[in-house]
Structure 1
Amino acid sequence: MNTISDVWPIWLGRSTVAAIMLAAISIESAGAQDAAATHINLSQTLRLALDNNPIIEAANAELRAIEAEARQVGLWDNPTLSADFEDFGGDRRAIGDADTTLSVRQTIPMGGDRARARDVTTAWAHAARADLAQTRSDLLASTAQAYIATFAASETYTVRLELLELANSSSAAILARVEAGRASPIERSRAEILVGLATIAARDAENAQRQARNRLYAIWSGIPVDVALESPLQSLDVINYRTAAPADWISNNPELVSLRAVTLARSQEIRRERAEAIPDLTVGAGWRRYGGTDESAFIATLEMPIPLLNRNQGGVAAAASRENGARFDEDASRRTLMARFAAAAGRLERARTTFSLLDENILPATQTALEGAQFAYREGALDVLNLLDIQRSYFDARINLISARAELASAAIELDALAGTPQLNQLAAPNSTEAAQ
């Protein structure tokens, strides 16, 4: 009867063979997919999001509705046509003996409240346009961030496949040394563990890539397509924020612009409420026929409420209070945005430093160490543990470089969004230089 110690190496060896076969299939399928994939850059992705995301159309529909309300609210009331028949029946014989009055009345807004109401609705239409700009900016920023995450996940998956291929090669070399009696049988187990862990990491990276792609696809259509993304740093400029004052940087932030528009609309509401305190004048003109004598005459009417009790005091006070609240909201948002700018600027600086160190120092050093370790191991001057440790350091450096590049691009997007996404808007333009490349 086999013991657990006897069965375990056999079972693990079989699983390693299966993992190597699956890994080979994954590498081949990944290469075939990349060859057949449609290459897409950040500029094209941004335009796809703008053209196919319903949130923009919903915001446009709301804007058109508010603009229509602005046209409607400024119109005067329709004139009133009235016909009065008095003193007929009873001692009089028929309706022909009645006194008949035909008149037309028109209400004239004396305080200009209709014009003020139109100004208010127009101001809210401007606020809706600012909301649309904010929605568009948020969509561009979220799309760019999803693009960056998807590109990083794809790169990570590629590196994990390379690591798996290297693990297979190293495992074969280790097994050959064991079979030749140049290494301890324990190293066989280490080789199997190496391949197993690399397979798990590759599978995890594949799932992460699939999830990131699905999130990106959902932004523009929800329909998965086979695409290969280009590096976002080919499109993005790492923003030089050092010479910019925080208040100037966020001056065109869509959220702040939207709150400014709300404050303006609240100011217009105060003027409208004050105009409504002035009573409207109703004038009328008509013709009257007296049934008893068959005589006729013209009539004129004039009507105006006396503003003794109701001068719209509460409406004016409420509008003034809401304007103050809007100003406080604007100031609070400005402070929050300045704090976000400081955090994003620090994030960008850290990402820039990390990326530079990894790209210029750490990765080249680990690559050189790996090449030397592989040669030394083949010559028998290095044991397997040190070889595996150096291999792990090299691939960890590559993974960290991918993360640092994604962090650098993400921080640049965040700063661009705080400034009103000027760079993303330029990339999303149909005639953008990056799209033509």
Structure 2
Amino acid sequence: MFDVPLMKKNGSLFAGIALLLGAFAGNARAEEMSLQQAVEIALQNNAELQAFRDEKGLREAGRIRAGLLPNPSLEVSLESGALTGNSGENAFSVGVSQEFLLAGKREKRVALAQKELEVYRWQLTDRERLLRLDAKSRFYQVLLAVRKLKLTEGAIELNRHLYQVAKERLAAGDIPELELNLVQVELARSEGARSAALEGLLASRAELSLLLGGKEVEPALPTGSLEAGGAVKQAQAELLRLAQERRPDLMALRAEAEKGSAELSLAKAEGIPNLTAGLGLKRDTTAVEVAGLEGKDTSYTVGLTLSMPIPLFDKNQPGLRESSARRDSAGNRLAAAASRVEREVAAAYASLSNAEQVLSLYFRNIMPQMEENLKLTREAYQLGEVPVLTVFEEQKKYLEVNQGYLDALYQRQLALFKLEAAAAVELTGGVQ
């Protein structure tokens, strides 16, 4: 008897599908891949995540730039009286000037750059969290497709057995030939459903392969069970507390709010002008005529200059308003995100609880009854007590219920993964 919900021998199924998929990919055998391996491969090879990781250099360059001092300026000047008829008179000066940042601007810029780098790191962690959810979901989509393919193979076995019974009854003169033809058509339909299920499996596997990084993981075939996953021991309030403390998107918004305060502090400092100090050496040569004789007199002077803009019109008012607006915006987005996280945890927790109730209903009530109904109907047909159309209808109900059961298994796993992502924890232990 074909038993979908209680299938324990998945090894031969995966081996057969592995060989089949390996043939499609041009390989003799497809390797198996666990859920943990799939997540690790995704985190290492995903192209979008890797591109975002490469942006770390931009933030680090900004931090280095913020800590640099202004470069000194070299000033050289040469004056000559040759064009005005005083060729004996000239002057030469050389000086160095340096701008000094006041009001702690350098320290404030470094602090702001550090906050930008912190925001980036939390954003990267949040992308990894979402990628884990996506990888787990697509991994179990492949497992679901494998089980549905197995279900279509079971339907073929049911129809083959029914075809043999119909042939025997036709030979005994119990049924017309038309009834045997109907069974043969039903067998062909079940074989067509298997082809469609195989196409779905290949499509879901290709999507997983793309998420994991491409062709280098093409031979791998996910292995595992849809029934995997234990009960969640943490209460909803505990998961909400963990989410508020550990969700990387919330941490990124908190860092962004702190970044807004750092920007405002820097904007206030930018309203204070910087001091520029210069040190110069000047040589003056003048021509002196005494008793018809021309002589030259050379003098050297050393000068110190200080300059500072007068903040009469520009006190960095636009920068103050801009940084203040960004700080307030970050605070509002943080408050909204905290409420959203609370709703996500509550919704995921409720979804998981509902999925477990649906599974319990399938396992305890629906599946045993459907199996018994199918068994009795097939026996009744073999004894000539019901028409073949009744068997078709009962098999259809049986397969639809099994498909619903498989979908419920997948929805239960998906709800578990969404709850893990919402709370930013691995419910089997660990932090995302």
Task: Give the TM-score band, short-chain normalised.
Answer: 0.7 to 0.9
Q: Does 1:57 align with 2:61?
A: no
Partners of 2:324 and 2:227 lie apart in 1 by 49
SS in 2 for 1:70: helix
Deviation at 1:33, TM superposition (A): 3.1
Deviation at 1:165, TM superposition (A): 2.0
Q: 1:81 maps to which residue?
A: 74
1:45/1:297 CA distance change after superposition, 3 Å = same
Partners of 1:29 and 1:237 lie apart in 2 by 28
CA contact (8 A) 1:239 1:415 kept: no
Partners of 2:358 and 2:143 lie apart in 1 by 19
Deviation at 1:201, TM superposition (A): 2.2
Partners of 2:408 and 2:308 lie apart in 1 by 73
Q: Please tell me the residue identity of whatever aligns with 2:248.
A: P
> Where do 1:390-405 residues align within 5 Å?
390-405=394-409
Q: 1:371 maps to which residue?
A: 375
Q: Does 1:188 align with 2:188?
A: no
Q: 1:280 maps to which residue?
A: 274
CA contact (8 A) 2:43 2:49 kept: yes
Q: 1:258 maps to which residue?
A: 252
> How big is each residue's C-alpha offset from its partner over 1:65-101, in whole Å with a ceiling of 9 and x where there is no partner?
211111112211111111222353234325xx42222
**Range 73-82 or range 417-426, more displaced:** 417-426
Q: Please tell me the residue identity of whatever aligns with 2:237.
A: A
Q: Does 1:70 align with 2:57?
A: no
Partners of 1:284 and 1:32 lie apart in 2 by 80
TM-score, normalized by length of structure 1?
0.83
Deviation at 1:156, TM superposition (A): 0.5
Deviation at 1:29, TM superposition (A): 6.6
> Where do 1:37-436 residues align within 5 Å?
37-86=30-79, 88-89=81-82, 90-94=84-88, 97-223=89-215, 224-225=218-219, 227-231=221-225, 233-234=227-228, 236-240=229-233, 242-244=235-237, 247-251=240-244, 252-292=246-286, 293-422=297-426
Q: Please tell me the residue identity of whatever aligns with 2:219.
A: V
Deviation at 1:410, TM superposition (A): 0.3
**Range 237-246 or range 42-51, more displaced:** 237-246
1:61/1:34 CA distance change after superposition, 3 Å = closer
SS in 2 for 1:98: strand
Deviation at 1:127, TM superposition (A): 1.0
Deviation at 1:47, TM superposition (A): 1.2
> How big is each residue's C-alpha offset from its partner over 1:23-56, in whole Å with a ceiling of 9 and x where there is no partner?
xxx9997485389432221011111112221222
1:391/1:267 CA distance change after superposition, 3 Å = same
CA contact (8 A) 2:14 2:223 kept: no
Partners of 2:220 and 2:66 lie apart in 1 by 51
CA contact (8 A) 1:171 1:194 kept: no
CA contact (8 A) 1:355 1:404 kept: yes
Structure 2 unaligned residues grouped into runs of 5+: 1-12, 23-28, 287-296
> How big is each residue's C-alpha offset from its partner over 1:237-281, in whole Å with a ceiling of 9 and x where there is no partner?
453453425742431222222222222222211111111001100
Q: 1:3 maps to which residue?
A: none
Bigger share in helix: 1
Partners of 2:230 and 2:81 lie apart in 1 by 88
SS in 1 for 2:55: helix
Partners of 1:27 and 1:242 lie apart in 2 by 36
CA contact (8 A) 1:367 1:394 kept: yes
1:144/1:354 CA distance change after superposition, 3 Å = same
CA contact (8 A) 2:136 2:417 kept: yes
TM-score, normalized by length of structure 2?
0.84
Query: What value does the CA root-mean-square deviation take over the aligned residues?
Result: 2.7
Deviation at 1:365, TM superposition (A): 3.0
Partners of 2:341 and 2:15 lie apart in 1 by 48
> How big is each residue's C-alpha offset from its partner over 1:215-245, in whole Å with a ceiling of 9 and x where there is no partner?
00111232232525212553x4453453425
Structure 1 unaligned residues grouped into runs of 5+: 1-25, 429-437
Q: Please tell me the residue identity of whatever aligns with 2:145.
A: A
> How big is each residue's C-alpha offset from its partner over 1:278-337, in whole Å with a ceiling of 9 and x where there is no partner?
110011112222223322232111111111211111210111011111212222222223
CA contact (8 A) 2:373 2:394 kept: yes
Deviation at 1:425, TM superposition (A): 9.3
1:228/1:107 CA distance change after superposition, 3 Å = closer
Q: Please tell me the residue identity of whatever aligns with 1:264.
A: E
1:344/1:132 CA distance change after superposition, 3 Å = same
SS in 2 for 1:294: strand
Percentage identity across paired residues of the two chains:
22
CA contact (8 A) 1:282 1:302 kept: yes
CA contact (8 A) 1:41 1:232 kept: no
Q: Please tell me the residue identity of whatever aligns with 1:266.
A: G
1:266/1:394 CA distance change after superposition, 3 Å = same
Partners of 1:347 and 1:288 lie apart in 2 by 83
Partners of 2:239 and 2:20 lie apart in 1 by 45
Give the number of aligned pairs. 400
Bigger share in strand: 2
